[in-house]
Structure 1
Amino acid sequence: MTCELPFIVTIAILGAMGGFAAGLLGFGGGVVMFPLLFYVPPLLGFEKLDPKAVAALVVSQVFFSTLIGGAAHWRSGRVHLTLTLAAGLSSAAGAFMGGIGSKWVSESFLFLLFGVVTLLVGAMMLLPAPPSHREEVPVEMVTVPTLPLSIVSVVIGAIIGFLGAGNFVFVPLLIYVLKVPTRISIGSSLFIAMLNTFSGFLGKLLTWQIPLLMALVIIPAGIAGALAGESLHRRLSPQVLRHIYAAMVAVITVRIWITLLVGD
C-alpha cells in the first residue's frame, strides 16, 4: 500500500469524516468509514484497499473515536448506564469472536453481510418513532429489557467484529424498537461502540490484520471529527438527527447493493 503524502492526507480526511458521523449520530462511524475507505481512494487514483484491511482500519478508528465522542455525550447526560453495559458487554463478546473469525472469510461474504445488515436497519427505520413527549424523558427514567437486548447484542457484536461496522444497528434498534429517546440512544450507542469495537480491535490486532501506519493517521483524525460531530449534535433537534441518520443509511445501502448486484 502506498504511503505518499497525498494518500496519507486523503486517509486523514476520510477518518475525520467517519469520526464526525460518530459524534453526530452515534453509530460508531464504521458504516461510513467502510464505504469511504473502500471506494474513495481508487476514485482519486490511489491503490484499492483490501476489504479486510479496510475492516481492520475501521475497527481501530471507531474505537478511539467513540471513546472520546462517548465521553462528551456522557458529560451532557445522554448515556444510559444499564443499557450501555448490557448491550456493550454482550456485543463485545460477539465482536471478539467476529474479529478473529474474519481472518478466514471471503471478500464476497463481507460485502453480502454488510448489504443484508443495511437492509435490516432500513426496515427498522420504517417503524414509528417515539412520541415527541418521550424525547424529553430524563435518562434515569428510561427502562429497557436487558436480557433480550443482551442476546441480540451478541449477534450485532459478531457483525462488528467481521466488518468493522455494525454499531449503527443499535441506534434504530433503541429508537424504533425499544422506544428509547433519540439523544439517549445516540449517546449510549457511542459507549456501546467503544466497548464492542475494543474487543474487535483486539481480535484483529492479535491476528496482525491492522495496517499500522494508516491506523496512526486515521485514529487522531477520527477523534477530532468525533468532537466536532458531538458539538453539532447539541444544536440539532431529535427529528433532524433521525432524518439525517435515515438519509445516510439509505445512500450507503444503495451503494453497497449496486456493488453486490452489478460490481464496482
Structure 2
Amino acid sequence: MNLLSPDIVLLFILLGSLAGFLAGLLGIGGGIIFVPLFLHVFPLVGIDPAVMVHMAFGTSLGIILPTAVSSTLGHRKRGNVDWSQVYGLALGGIAGAALGSTLAAFMRGDSLQFLFALMQTVVALRMIRSRRYLPPERDKPAPFWQLVLVGIAGGAFSAFFGVGGGVIAVPLMVIVLQLPIQLAVGNSSALIVVSSLAGAASYVFHGWNSPLLPPLSAGYINLLVLGLVAPFSMLSARIGVRVAGHLPHDKLVKVFAVLLILVGVKIGLQALN
C-alpha cells in the first residue's frame, strides 16, 4: 500500500476524525493521539523507519497548528488570553521550539520513539492521579523572564515530542506564574500556536534534503496526511466537546489514560526491539 491508495486515504480520514473526537471529548491535546497513530500507520505505507518517527512528530505539529488557532480564538472571546503575557511566552516558545526540534532532528528514530513512549506513560499516570490545584493570589504581574522561561519549556517540549505542549505549559503557568486555570489554558493555547508553527517550520527545514521522504512531503511533514487529517480532526473535535457534556468526564479520562499506558508500553518495546 502507499499514501495515495484509496484505503489509506480513507484510513487517515477516519483516524483524524477519531483523534479529533477524543481530543474534544477528553479535553486533551491531539498530539498525544496523533503521534501513536502515525507510528502504527506509517509503516503500513512504506515510510522508511529512519525518518518515520521524525515524520510522525513533524506532521503532528502541522495538524496541531490550525486547531490551536481555533482554540485560541475561542478562549480570546471568553477573555481568557492575556496578550501582555503571551508576548513573553511566545518569545520563549519560539526559542524552545527551535531547540526541541533541532535536538529531535539529530536523534535516532528509535531513541525518540522510546522517549515519546516514556513521556506518554508519565502523562497518562498524571491524568489518572490528577488533582485540582488552586494557585495563591499574585499581587503583581509575573516577571517577563518567568514568562520567557515557561515559554521555552513549553516550546521545547512541544517540538521535541510533536505534541501541543499544554501538558507541561498549563501546570507551569498555574504553579510558577500563579495564574488562574482558565487563563493558563487560554495562554497555553496561544503559546501552542507559536511553538507548533516554529516547531513545524524547523521539522521542514531539517528534513528538506532527506532522500528518504515519501511523496508529497515538505521536510518531515507529509502534506497529504496533513490535508486529510486536519480538517476532519477539527470538525470532530467540536462534536467531542458537545458529547462530553453528557458523559462522566473523569471516568472517561482515566479509562483513556490506561489505554495510553498500554500503547506507550507497546511503542516503547517496539523501540527497544
Fold match, TM over 0.5? yes
Range with bigger deviation, 209-218 or 184-193 = 184-193
Per-residue deviation at 1:160? 2.0
1:130–1:181 contact (8 Å) kept in structure 2: no
Per-residue deviation at 1:118? 3.4
Q: Aligned Cα RMSD in Å?
A: 3.7
Q: Which residue is 1:129 aligned to?
A: 132
- Classify 1:244/1:178 alpha carbon distance in 2 versus 1 (closer, same or farther; 3 Å): farther
Q: Which residue is 1:39 aligned to?
A: 40
Matched, 1:164 2:175: no
Per-residue deviation at 1:197? 0.2
Counterpart among 86, 89, 102 of residue 87 in structure 1: 89
Counterpart among 193, 213, 227 of residue 224 in structure 2: 213
Counterparts of 1:159 and 1:30 in 2: how far apart (Å)?
12
Q: Which residue is 1:200 aligned to?
A: 199
Counterparts of 1:91 and 1:231 in 2: how far apart (Å)?
31
2:118–2:264 contact (8 Å) kept in structure 1: no
1:33–1:58 contact (8 Å) kept in structure 2: yes
- Classify 1:3/1:28 alpha carbon distance in 2 versus 1 (closer, same or farther; 3 Å): same
1:98–1:160 contact (8 Å) kept in structure 2: yes
Q: TM-score, normalised by structure 2?
A: 0.73
Given residue 147 of structure 1, which amino acid in structure 2 is its aligned partner? Answer: W
Output one character per residue of 1:222-255: Cα deviation in whole Å (capped at 9) or x when no partner: 332344445567x489xx7666555544532342
- Classify 1:164/1:188 alpha carbon distance in 2 versus 1 (closer, same or farther; 3 Å): same
1:141-160 superposed matches below 5 A: 147-160=145-158
Counterparts of 2:107 and 2:240 in 1: how far apart (Å)?
33
- Classify 1:185/1:48 alpha carbon distance in 2 versus 1 (closer, same or farther; 3 Å): farther
User: What is the percentage of aligned positions where both structures have the same residue?
Assistant: 21
Structure 1 SS opposite 2:14 = helix
Counterparts of 2:87 and 2:253 in 1: how far apart (Å)?
24
Counterparts of 1:149 and 1:18 in 2: how far apart (Å)?
31
- Classify 1:228/1:73 alpha carbon distance in 2 versus 1 (closer, same or farther; 3 Å): farther
Structure 1 SS opposite 2:221 = coil
Counterparts of 2:183 and 2:253 in 1: how far apart (Å)?
15
1:49-198 superposed matches below 5 A: 50-121=52-123, 126=129, 128-131=131-134, 147-167=145-165, 168-174=167-173, 180-198=179-197
- Classify 1:104/1:216 alpha carbon distance in 2 versus 1 (closer, same or farther; 3 Å): same
Q: TM-score, normalised by structure 1?
A: 0.75
Structure 1 SS opposite 2:45 = coil
Per-residue deviation at 1:53? 1.6
1:12–1:218 contact (8 Å) kept in structure 2: yes
Per-residue deviation at 1:172? 4.0
Per-residue deviation at 1:65? 1.3
Counterparts of 2:241 and 2:266 in 1: how far apart (Å)?
31
Counterparts of 1:177 and 1:48 in 2: how far apart (Å)?
44
Q: Which residue is 2:264 aligned to?
A: 256
Query: Number of residues paired by the alignment?
Result: 252
Structure 1 residue ranges without an equivalent (≥5): none
Q: Which residue is 1:14 aligned to?
A: 15
Structure 2 residue ranges without an equivalent (≥5): 209-218
- Classify 1:244/1:86 alpha carbon distance in 2 versus 1 (closer, same or farther; 3 Å): farther
